[in-house]
Amino acid sequence: MVAFKLPLLLVLLHAVFGSAHRWFNWQFEVTCESDGYVAPHNEQAVANFLKNQYPNAPHIKVVGNGHGFGNLTTCVDTSLTQKKSFIVSLTNLKDISIDKTNMTVTFGAGWDVYDLIEELRANDLSFQNLGVERVQNMIGAASTGTHGSAQDLGNIATQIIGLRVLDAQGNLRIVNETMNAQELDAFRISLGALGLITEATIKVQPTTFFKRTTVVLNSTNDWNQFYTEMEQMYKEHERLTVWGPHFDYFENNKTWGLEPTYFASYWEPTNYTGARNCSDNYCANGCGNCKQNYFCYDEIAYANSCPPQGVCSHEFYAEIEHFFPIEEFVNVATNYTTYQQSQNSRMNTDYNGLVIYQWRALRGDSAWMSPVNTYNLGPESSGVFGIIEIDWLQSYNNFPALWDNQALADEFMPKFGEKFNARSHWNKMNPANATLIKELFPKLPDFLAIQERQDPQCQFVNEFLYTQLGIERCANYV
C-alpha cells in the first residue's frame, strides 16, 4: 500500500464517505453530481483507489478541463444510481521525459495542452498537429479525436506511440509499438471507456515555424458557386481553415441575413525566425479582429492554436462538427447549408445571435474510434476528410433557446450521416444511434471486446457511452 500524502488521504476519505462534488463543463450547461472527487498523487495511488473500490463496482469518470459540448465526460449522477459515483482527476500526474534522440516526449495525464507546448518550446521542440485551442487536457483531447486542419496530417491521437492504462481493477496495461501493439489503434481514441490513461508517449519534431495568411472574401448565396470556390482553395492549400458563411439574427423583424464577407486562413512552413506575432490575433471563439487581410509568423503551435486567454466567449452555444470524405465536399456543404436555412423559422427567439460555419480538412487514420477512420472508405477515396462545423451562438445565456438549437443540431447526423458517410466529433451533439455508429466505425465490435476486458462491471460507462456505442451488457449498470 503506497503511503499517501495527508491532503490526498483526506481527498480519498471524503470521496469514500460521500463528500458530494458537482462537476460542470466549460460553459456550465452540462453538469452532474458525484459522491466524491478523487485526485490521486501518482499512478500507484490511482491503482490503489481502483483496486479498493472494485468490489463495490462504483461508477468512475475521469475528467479533464470539461471543454466539450455533450455528455461524454459526464459522471453518472448520484440521482440516477444507487451505487457510488466518483469523479477522478489526474491533474497531479505531471511527470515528463523528453527524448531528443528518438524525438519523443512521455508525460503524465495531468498535463494540459498549453503547459505541454511551453515545455516543448523550452526544449526547441514542436508538436506536429494540434487543435484550435490550448485549454484542453492533452490526453483528454487526444482521447476524443481533437484535431486541427491539415490534409497531410491526422488528429492529435495519431502522434501517440505509447500509453500506460489502468483497468477497473487497477491493473496496469502498457500499450505501445512493441507491447500489445495490436491494441494501439484501440487505445489512441478510447473515449474514456477503456480505463484510466496515466501516461502517454508521442512523437514530436524540432521547432517548426509557420506563416499564417488570412484573407477576406466575398459571400454569395449561390451555394454551389460559394462551395465550388471554397473547394478550389482546399486544392491549393494543404492547411486551410475557412470561417463562413456567417448569418446574423435581426431582432426587430426576427429574420436571418447573410454577412457580405467571410474569411479564410492558410498556413505555410517558413524559415523566418523573427518576430513571433500570431497569438496577438488568433480569432478563436470570437476573439480579435478576424475579418482583415493580414499575415503573421510564429512557432507552429502559436500559429495554429490560441492560448486559454483566447477563449473569450462563454455564452451558451450549440455546435456540431461532422467529418465526411472530401470528395463529397460541394454536395455536403450545399446540403447542410440549405437544410440550416430551411429551419430558420424555428430560430426566431431574441436570444439568438449568430450562425457560423467553419470548414477544415484532415487526413484519415486507423484508430478504431477515430471520426476519420478509413475502414469503410471505397477505393475512390483519397483518405482525406472534409470537416463542417456549425455554431449556433446566443447573445444571452437562455436555456430554452439553447435547447432549441441543440434539438436542431441533433437532426443533422440522422439526416446526413448515412447518406454522406458523415461521422460526428465525439462529445459534440451526437444523437444516440448505435446502429449507425456500427456502420461508421466497423471496428466497434473489437473495441467493445477490449472494453469488456478492461471494465467488466461497466464502471467507466455512462449513459452517453451506453447509448452511443450500444453496450447492451451494461444496460443494468447504468
Q: Which residue type sits at 299?
A: E
Residue 11 has pLDDT above 50, yes or no: no
Q: Look over the chain and give the mean of its residue pLDDT values, rounded to a whole number.
A: 90
Residue 456 has pLDDT above 80, yes or no: yes
Give the range among 107-116, 232-241, 299-308 with minimum mean pLDDT. 299-308
Q: How would DSSP label each residue in 218-247?
A: E--S-HHHHHHHHHHHHHH-SSEEEEEEEE
User: H-helix or E-strand containing 364?
Assistant: none
In this structure, the strands spanning 317-325 and 104-108 are unpaired
Q: What is the CA radius of gyration of the chain?
A: 22
Using pLDDT thresholds of 50, 70 and 90, give the confidence band for residue 284.
low
d(CA 262, CA 9) in angstroms, rounded, equals 54
Using pLDDT thresholds of 50, 70 and 90, give the confidence band for residue 5.
very low
| Residue range 56-73, pLDDT digits in tens | 999 999 988 888 888 888
- What residues contact residue 67 under an 8 Å CB cut-off, 6+ apart? 25, 26, 133, 135, 136, 140, 141
Closest to 208 (Cα-Cα) out of 298, 118, 99, 106: 298
322 with 412: CB under 8 angstroms? yes
Give the range among 17-21, 173-177, 248-252, 450-454 with minimum mean pLDDT. 17-21
202 with 160: CB under 8 angstroms? yes
CB 253: neighbour CB atoms within 10 A? 7
State the average pLDDT over residues 384-411.
Answer: 92
322 with 381: CB under 8 angstroms? no
Q: What's the grid cell of residue 93?
A: 500526474
Query: Is residue 298 classed as helix, strand or coil in its secondary structure?
Result: strand
- What residues contact residue 158 under an 8 Å CB cut-off, 6+ apart? 129, 188, 363, 365, 367
Q: How would DSSP label each residue in 392-426?
A: EEESS--HHHHHHHHHHHTTHHHHHHHHHT-EEPT
Residue 465 has pLDDT above 70, yes or no: yes
| Residue reference for cell 508525460 | 107
Exposed, middle or buried, 400 (CB in 10 Å: 0-12/13-18/19+)?
A: exposed
Measured over all CA atoms, what is the biggest interatomic distance in the chain, rounded to whole angstroms?
68
363 pairs with which residues across the strands? 384
Domains and CATH numbers, the chain: 96-207 (3.30.465.10), 209-431 (3.40.462.10)
Q: What's the grid cell of residue 63?
A: 475528467
Q: What's the grid cell of residue 185?
A: 489503434
> Residue length, the chain?
478
pLDDT score at 287: 60
pLDDT score at 283: 64
State the average pLDDT over residues 225-248.
Answer: 96
Instruction: Please state, for a pLDDT cut of 90, what percent of the chain lies above it.
Output: 72
